Structure 1
């Protein structure tokens, strides 16, 4: 007989939706989320029950973990052995579980994220407190269901004689749901349960008078009472957990930060590495060493600081930028009545109380039934002893045990159970003392039956039993709170001065873009001489600055580089600096224009920039203080063919002078240049003729005596008073600065503002540099072509002129 194939033509969306729906239902209900009653996920429940069932309890010897794992997989949890072992190990880790449910001998991992030893090496048993989760499970207190292969029965929930969900918390991710319930102090949770039992309408505020908030096994400082309150009211909330740290003084004016508690679920080794990375990457200059001094006595991380560094500032930085401080988000989802539910504090307590009432009721019913059955037997034995001779005669006259039982039932009105007990009696039990024992047992049974009946009929008595047993657990297992709770979340403010130790250094920037900072020791050893630089290069900036300061480096592409001094490469005076392009990305044709150092950006000043096409713009100095400086920042929006030729710091200056290549000069008030943001193009500063372009700009302060030195491409130089140029309006053509020549006219290379003693260097097309002292020039008028400094025929045309900057 051939088997015919059957095909179902179904839409893919339906099939996928149906299968994923089934899968989701399974992992939500039976894998990733804890039960609201006992706070356990199925794998955890199966591990604890398997250990209990096999007698691997706290009062017996340790047993190989592999035996338990095999037992769990074989009988209850048909999944991978590693997942079962990992769950078992987690239950034994005192830095993850507030009250460990499993005791383990051997390597069970560490706070550094180390893996535990293989299960064949470790040994485990139930802890004392986990026996409270399982107590009375044999008294039909919870429902049992068949295991996966119907060969055994397993509990759907544990009796849970303490509120494990709140005490040990839980974390997990399923389909569409995740949970994060923090651990709490046992005594506080039990007090909250008792309060809720006394007052079913107790508010979160009232409950928080006893349950202060989470209590992490790793301790730490919890900040944010409002977040805790919100979480207890809604199931969601956010708190801050920070390490416990102390600042200890050392010899020689140094200090060290000692951390003795870290946030919950933080990997200690990773955290230490990240702290050390901040030191190694020079993001934090004040740390000299980070050490892990933890041992079996406790956790201890030491952060040793350099001399004269503010320890509190470093600590604040580490709180903000490392896992020394983390945020914890409550997401209190649990399975309640077979559904994933966002739990409030009240619903958690109520679910537990409801479960306990059920457990105690079922236990009482079980004990009552057992006591009643025994009472019935005792009554039968007492009756039998009162007519002992007749009973013996009846039994002797019977053919066998069954006949004896039947004769006893027929003759003396015994029940089946009583008759079985009588015929099973041993001869020594027929002594005179036995009747006394039976009467004593009868009295005790009557008392027990009365108590159990009272529990089953009176809600008050039922509550009192629960309260009494919870009080005993509190007395036996309560531990002092480990986490400290603070009302407010502290706002962390970090200044660069705190992070960076103050150190005097010499900062240099060359025209070709080589930058470095040099220690004053290296500078003094060289006596400021033999500065390393390429032959074609010259020093653009040299200044004695502090590592807490900043330099702004302006480039020809209309950008600026925000460069903290402490992040500059530390290079000896006699060694070549590092090129700016290796620190920050520059365009191919972008070169350094000007450098300005700043201690801060609070001054009432502005940065003025001028472009080759005659555009002028001005922005407030405070706009140049930026937080992210991993790339260049636009300071002047230029057209594609334009370049920036000038960047100047405006403090007291009131006017600007612009010189053009074709020897026009225009002077106007800075009031005509409005303050704008960084990414603007500015306004027209000079009206250029066709083929002309701006070459120089000079800021003018009328209170300071300053002259204008003009250099032409033919090697001529002249000095003019700034009064030669009247202040006019912006965007004008300006006035002529040289006598016009019909053949081979002079073209302006640069106009430099000078006070008299400076030295100007002229660079020629043949690479020759010719110095010029400003004092050697006489003042002339605008119509003069000046004096020839360079022999054009032998030395070449002048292509550049710059002033040797005085040291900052």
Structure 2
């Protein structure tokens, strides 16, 4: 028990009850007046007071000069927020930090801190004003759109809420710890939120699941990745959930060929310097293996944290450990608690949108009432002025005959039936209003006001018109301030079928020679007369070019085969999307292949869950030792994230090619010494995925297979062979007789010291170009049609001239370019700008043409 003095008497009270009521009062004060945002404008009292003071008290709109932060903080403290100056300054600073706010409301000048956790400069050094988007937050506040209340000392009114046109609670989020409850709301993309608001206005009965088509996931100011959608869906449907955030990374290579993980974006609210420090500690403590060096190379152009890996490290393994053990993966616990009519409530996505729309509707109605009242007040005055102008002589006589203004007003009211306001306006009227032009001006103004009054009354009488005004303002805001998402959405493997998110649209998959891959909607390409897909405009590196191109659909699957005999899967929708002119993304960043492995073949297949399809198609593989293996596609119909063994590779051997066949094609293998063998695919028995295969061609000594082609029946293709010294020819398929597999083959090119060894065998048509890559790195493109058809056992023709000691490294047929490339024609003739040294190549005998076929 305790005692309390009351009116000179001592009153005994229960201390437990007193503490309980006092604590409840305190907690409600914290909840309502400090820690939780209002659902309507999304602001806490301190932020609301800062913005109101900067706009209405200090006139610091976006088009006005900056003012010292100390001046702003002092004004807010003295007029509205009687708390610590540091609390006000920190709140204002956060409104100006691009890594804290998705859409900054304050334009700061000076040191406002950094993403490394550096604090801002003292308020006496920094300056601030409102950003342009903050002008929309304060729009129409002077039109009685919101309620006001006295400030703490009841000397100045302050708004209870701001009439914002921006849904700040959703786009900037909020966080706060009250007593017994807390709020933690993620930021979102303005364009997506406004689309959802418009959808709600069109259909107030819309469900949360339908709103998810517009608001897909949070959009953090620091970018990064939202990993998985289940927590996001739960947060939007219930108001509580858990969003997994990841850093955005790329796999690059140093000049010495070592792999490195480059972090370009980090999770929201993560201190970059602290994250790097903790990763370094994990490396030193041997908790994370495989990282040799870590450095922060961030500058004004963007974030860049480089982690160089050890030679034997696998980038995907290291990256997964970083996600598991460091702040490169964190979670954002969503707790959507906000004040609704002064009471804290847990809200889902639809509730947040509904309350904002109701607030905007109330603002529009109150603004319209205010504008109507102002228009009617002005029209009333104009009616009196027009009466006075029409009876000006009598008005002048009455005024001149009056002893005082009050007597004149009374006489005017009695004579013309005017109101007090009209009579006062006539008394104050200037003499210039008596001119004809001024009378016409008054009449035009009156007519215009009558139209506005009719419109305002129509709006007030029509709910659909009011909601249309709200929607039109949202679309206007989207046009002015909408932007693209910064945070990428990546579905986690264990979630529901991701195909539900992608329409099965046609896509073009392009893979460059250096291993850059992308998908592009087929609609971005121009249709050619040849029916192919033009490649002009693909922005590759100077030494790179498009090597493979596939037309497929979003639900199809790409198979990747490596020289170690591994197979990897990738759905088309999982391939990074890029514009037709973009370079694409390195394949090492997309699939988890070993550092010392290399992709040798790409196969595009239909749905792997189509049993009829996977049981009627085969994959044939070939190694450099002449081993071939045939496996039913069904064996590759169960994707695994880390890939599977497609063929057992013997020591010293490697996979060089893999083809998708129908089971009835013909296979041709060619060896470096100029021999080739042709046999029916039916001669190779289909075996399981882990088998090693059978002999396809017998090779001797240090000879090896350089290529394999599979030709389907009724397909007209020529056989192209090219030697390393620049000789090549096309031969009709019929010149190669069909034999049993395992033989030594027949001569496909007359190999001499002059021609060099066979380097490639390809199936081509006149609709192909040939990309020739020399060992020196030079790339030359020539039309296949420039190489004429000749016999199987001939030496061929000179395809290109080579520099001294240079040789052809590889040859790839590609779809013919839609536009003529001048350098290609020049290169086909042997020489010039791309190969200036060709002029110095060893001359041929004068009595022989370079393009003349040379027989045995």
Q: TM-score range with shorter-chain normalisation?
A: 0.5 to 0.7
Give the structure 1 partner of residue 477 of structure 2: 473
Counterparts of 1:472 and 1:11, CA distance in 2: 59
Indicate which of 302, 322, 328 corresponds to 2:326: 322
Indicate which of 341, 347, 354 corresponds to 1:343: 347
Query: Deviation string for 1:2-24 (max 9, x for gaps)?
Result: 99964432222112111110000
| Structure 1 residues 576-615: aligned runs within 5 Å | none
Counterparts of 2:172 and 2:434, CA distance in 1: 55
Give the structure 1 partner of residue 49 of structure 2: 46
Give the structure 1 partner of residue 451 of structure 2: 447
- Please say if residues 276 and 290 of structure 1, whose CA atoms lie closer than 8 Å, have aligned partners that are also in contact: yes
Shift of 1:489: 5.9
Indicate which of 19, 27, 31 corresponds to 2:30: 27
Q: Which has the larger radius of gyration?
A: 1
Q: Does 1:462 align with 2:452?
A: no
Q: Does 1:212 align with 2:213?
A: no
In the alignment of these two chains, the number of paired residues is 490
Give the structure 2 partner of residue 283 of structure 1: 287
Q: Does 1:368 align with 2:372?
A: yes
| Structure 1 residues 52-451: aligned runs within 5 Å | 52-53=55-56, 54-451=58-455
TM-score normalised per structure 2: 0.56
Counterparts of 1:92 and 1:434, CA distance in 2: 49
Q: Secondary structure at the match of 1:72?
A: helix
| Structure 1 residues 386-785: aligned runs within 5 Å | 386-488=390-492
Q: Secondary structure at the match of 1:94?
A: coil
Shift of 1:255: 1.1
TM-score normalised per structure 1: 0.60
Shift of 1:107: 0.6
Shift of 1:251: 3.0
Give the structure 2 partner of residue 609 of structure 1: none
Cα pair distance change 1:296/1:490, threshold 3 Å: farther
- Please say if residues 254 and 308 of structure 1, whose CA atoms lie closer than 8 Å, have aligned partners that are also in contact: no
Query: Deviation string for 1:686-745 (max 9, x for gaps)?
Result: xxxxxxxxxxxxxxxxxxxxxxxxxxxxxxxxxxxxxxxxxxxxxxxxxxxxxxxxxxxx
Counterparts of 1:308 and 1:135, CA distance in 2: 61
Give the structure 1 partner of residue 792 of structure 2: none
TM-align CA RMSD: 1.5
Q: Secondary structure at the match of 2:128?
A: strand
Query: Deviation string for 1:532-591 (max 9, x for gaps)?
Result: xxxxxxxxxxxxxxxxxxxxxxxxxxxxxxxxxxxxxxxxxxxxxxxxxxxxxxxxxxxx
Counterparts of 1:460 and 1:85, CA distance in 2: 43
Counterparts of 1:443 and 1:485, CA distance in 2: 55
Counterparts of 2:201 and 2:11, CA distance in 1: 56
Give the structure 2 partner of residue 712 of structure 1: none
Give the structure 2 partner of residue 602 of structure 1: none
- Please say if residues 288 and 322 of structure 2, whose CA atoms lie closer than 8 Å, have aligned partners that are also in contact: no
Query: Deviation string for 1:351-378 (max 9, x for gaps)?
Result: 1011111111111110000000001111
Counterparts of 2:166 and 2:342, CA distance in 1: 21
Counterparts of 1:133 and 1:267, CA distance in 2: 30
Q: Secondary structure at the match of 1:289?
A: strand
Shift of 1:109: 0.8
Q: Secondary structure at the match of 1:256?
A: strand
Query: Deviation string for 1:164-190 (max 9, x for gaps)?
Result: 100100011101111111000001111
Query: Deviation string for 1:256-286 (max 9, x for gaps)?
Result: 1111100000011100001111112222232
Q: Secondary structure at the match of 2:403?
A: coil
- Please say if residues 294 and 301 of structure 1, whose CA atoms lie closer than 8 Å, have aligned partners that are also in contact: yes
Counterparts of 1:95 and 1:438, CA distance in 2: 54
